[in-house]
């Protein structure tokens, strides 16, 4: 009897341990990171689309002068209100309220830059069902500069060709390889895009795109809408589209070897890309380079390899150090502490 209850007890301990490691409720040995985690779980339960937004924020913050929370600023002494948020390439950026809420919970001693990379990490973990995870130490500082023009000059555009992308990723202060470019592009297995971001893909002379997929896009978001001043969104991944869209696009996840569960961060992007069923030219052009095309195939064939390469590239991205002067820990993520010129 005593032996049995000891066995039951140890089983419970093992189960509790496993639960602690599970996607919903991963524990950190750090109070701040635990608070971030809890708020990200809450936000994503309320609106699942916020997960993709938080992952994208990491890229769009860290690409400009390192991870310095500059993408969060509404106003700065030097840029006025013409901050990164106003950049054309930042269309659709979201999740700012989640960061604000977390800032209120963690208080004055944690930078907005740390909150942002922690939140993106937790969102990736949750969206991947715990398969994509990386440790982050914190200690980033917040910048005081945020320029829309600098964001547009530095963020890649969806119409870039392969060489543009390669140079953009390899640029000084970043140093990302073609392999990392291909791994990170798999983030387009989640989230949404505006028609204006893939309009070139609906033209008769578009870069190669599966004709059924193009037809389904034409039907749901015809180019004419842009002329009428409308700019609707579609899921980046046909896996996440409606059954009717999938029928028109001749997209059957099971035939493609893709898990049909929607809103999961996984290697489905690589299955889609090799079928020309990706949204952006910048996705398709990865097929035009030998090294990149080899990685597309590797990541399609080996989901675990992609999970770990994506996690490693996100950790590298999340650690790009802030470049600016007068770094600080902001009191409010939307404003620099000093509202006048230094």
Binding residues for Ca(2+): 61, 66, 68, 70, 84, 248, 261, 266
Tell me whether residue 60 is one of the annotated catalytic residues. Answer: yes
Q: At closest approach, how far in Å is the CB of 172 from ligand NAG?
A: 35
Q: At closest approach, how far in Å is the CB of 221 from ligand NAG?
A: 10
Number of helices (H), then strands (E), belonging to the chain: the values are: 17, 2
DSSP collapsed to 3 states, 74-118: CEECCCECCCHHHCHHHCCCCCHHHHHHHHHHHCCCCCHHHHHHH
How many CB atoms within 10 Å of residue 54?
A: 27
Residue from 146, 214, 268, 307 touching ligand NAG (CB under 6 A): that is 214
Q: By the 8 A CB rule, do 178 and 295 touch? A: yes
Query: Residue 193 binds which entry of ligand NAG, ligand HEM, none, with Cβ cut-offs from 5 to 8 Å by kind?
Result: ligand HEM
Annotated binding site for heme b: 188
Residue from 5, 109, 172, 339 touching ligand NAG (CB under 6 A): that is 109
Does 108 sit near ligand NAG (CB under 6 A)? yes
303 CB-near residues (< 8 Å, 6+ apart): 266, 267
User: If you search the block for the tokens 């505006």, which residue do you land on?
Assistant: 194
SS3 35: helix
Task: Please state the φ and ψ torsions of residue 291, each to the nearest 5 degrees.
Answer: -65, -45
Query: Residue 123 binds which entry of ligand HEM, ligand NAG, none, with Cβ cut-offs from 5 to 8 Å by kind?
Result: none
189 CB-near residues (< 8 Å, 6+ apart): 236, 237, 239, 264, 265, 266, 267, 268, 269, 272
Q: How far is it, in rounded angstroms, from Cα 300 to Cα 270?
A: 5
Active-site residue, from 26, 56, 60, 295:
60
- Rounded to 5°, the CA angle 178-182-184 comes to 115
Does 29 sit near ligand NAG (CB under 6 A)? no
Annotated binding site for substrate: 156
Nearest 10 degrees: Cα torsion 54, 60, 66, 67: -20
Q: At closest approach, how far in Å is the CB of 114 from ligand HEM?
A: 17
Q: Cα 155 to the chain's mean position, in Å?
A: 14
Annotated binding site: 61, 66, 68, 70, 84, 156, 188, 248, 261, 266
Q: Which stretch binds ligand NAG (CB under 6 A): 105-113, 138-146, 265-273, 295-303?
A: 105-113
Q: By the 8 A CB rule, do 221 and 319 touch? A: no
15 CB-near residues (< 8 Å, 6+ apart): none
Q: At closest approach, how far in Å is the CB of 285 from ligand HEM?
A: 9
Closest residue to ligand NAG, judged by C-beta, is: 107
Does 218 sit near ligand NAG (CB under 6 A)? yes
User: Among residues 94 and 215, whose Cβ is nearest to ligand NAG?
Assistant: 215
Residue from 150, 202, 226, 303 touching ligand NAG (CB under 6 A): that is 202
User: What's the DSSP call for residue 54?
Assistant: H
Query: Residue 223 binds which entry of ligand HEM, ligand NAG, none, with Cβ cut-offs from 5 to 8 Å by kind?
Result: ligand NAG
Binding site for ligand HEM (CB under 6 A): 52-53, 55-56, 58-59, 91-92, 94, 156-158, 160, 165, 184-185, 187-188, 190-194, 197, 236, 280, 282
Residue from 211, 242, 255, 288 touching ligand NAG (CB under 6 A): that is 211
Q: Which residues bind ligand NAG (CB under 6 A)?
A: 107-109, 202-204, 211, 214-215, 218, 223
Annotated catalytic residues are 60
């Amino acid at each position: 009897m005593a032996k049995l209850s000891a066995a039951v007890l140890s089983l419970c301990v093992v189960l509790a341990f496993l639960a602690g490691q599970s996607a919903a409720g991963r524990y950190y040995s750090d109070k701040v990171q635990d608070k971030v985690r809890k708020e990200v779980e809450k936000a994503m339960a309320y609106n699942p689309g916020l997960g993709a937004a938080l992952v994208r924020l990491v890229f769009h913050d860290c690409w400009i002068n390192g991870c310095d929370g500059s993408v969060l600023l509404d106003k700065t002494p030097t840029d006025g209100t013409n901050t990164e948020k106003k950049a054309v390439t930042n269309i659709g950026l979201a999740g700012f309220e989640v960061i604000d809420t977390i800032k209120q919970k963690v208080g004055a001693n944690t930078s907005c830059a740390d909150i942002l990379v922690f939140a993106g990490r937790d969102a990736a973990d949750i969206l991947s069902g715990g398969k994509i995870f990386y440790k982050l130490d914190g200690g980033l500082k917040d910048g005081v500069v945020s320029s829309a023009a600098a964001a547009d000059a530095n963020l890649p555009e969806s119409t870039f060709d392969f060489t543009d992308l390669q140079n953009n990723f390899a640029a000084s202060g970043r140093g990302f390889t073609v392999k990392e470019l291909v791994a990170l592009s798999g983030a387009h297995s989640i989230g949404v895009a505006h028609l204006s971001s893939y309009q070139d893909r609906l033209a008769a002379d578009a870069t190669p795109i599966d004709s059924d997929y193009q037809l389904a896009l034409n039907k749901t978001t015809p180019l004419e809408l842009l002329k009428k001043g409308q700019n609707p969104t579609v899921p980046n991944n046909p896996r996440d589209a409606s059954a009717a869209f999938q029928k028109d696009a001749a997209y059957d996840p099971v035939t493609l070897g893709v898990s049909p569960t929607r809103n999961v961060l996984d290697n489905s992007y690589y299955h889609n890309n090799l079928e020309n069923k990706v949204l952006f030219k910048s996705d398709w052009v990865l097929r035009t380079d030998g090294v990149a095309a080899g990685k597309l195939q590797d990541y399609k064939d080996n989901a675990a390899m992609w999970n770990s390469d994506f996690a490693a590239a996100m950790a590298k991205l999340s650690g790009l150090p802030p470049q600016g002067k007068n770094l600080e820990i902001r009191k409010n993520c939307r404003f620099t502490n000093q509202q006048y010129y230094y």
